[in-house]
Amino acid sequence: MDTMFEFAALVMATILGLFGALALQALLLRATFALMQPAAADQKPLRPPLERGARLTARAYARSH
């Protein structure tokens, strides 16, 4: 009877260790992906140069007249 309880305790400890290891692996994987993001990923895109905007405005004005 004691042998069955010891075996059950060993099985429960193994399962608990397995889930703990999986949780730690998932946490480290998320941290790895977060650190791999480039530093400029959250920045807004640069505005187009003024020359291009002036050219587009001139074309729109020319079409309307």
| Backbone φ, ψ for residue 64 (5° rounding) | -75, -20
61 in a structural domain: no
Please tell me the distance from the alpha carbon of residue 36 to that of residue 19, in angstroms, as a whole number: 26
- Residue 35 CA, distance from chain mean position: 9
**Three-point CA angle 36, 42, 44, nearest 5°:** 145
44 in a structural domain: no
3 in a structural domain: yes
> Looking at the predicted structure, is the pLDDT value of residue 29 above 80?
yes
| pLDDT band, very low/low/confident/very high, at 44 (cuts 50, 70, 90) | low
21 in a structural domain: yes
29 in a structural domain: yes
Per-residue confidence (pLDDT) for residue 61, from 0 to 100? 81
- Residue 6 CA, distance from chain mean position: 42
46 in a structural domain: no
51 in a structural domain: no
Residue ranges making up the domain that contains 6: 1-37
Task: Record the pTM.
Answer: 0.52
Which position has the token pair 């959250």?
42
Domain tally, the chain: 1
- What percent of the chain is modeled with pLDDT above 90? 45
**Mean residue pLDDT across the chain:** 85
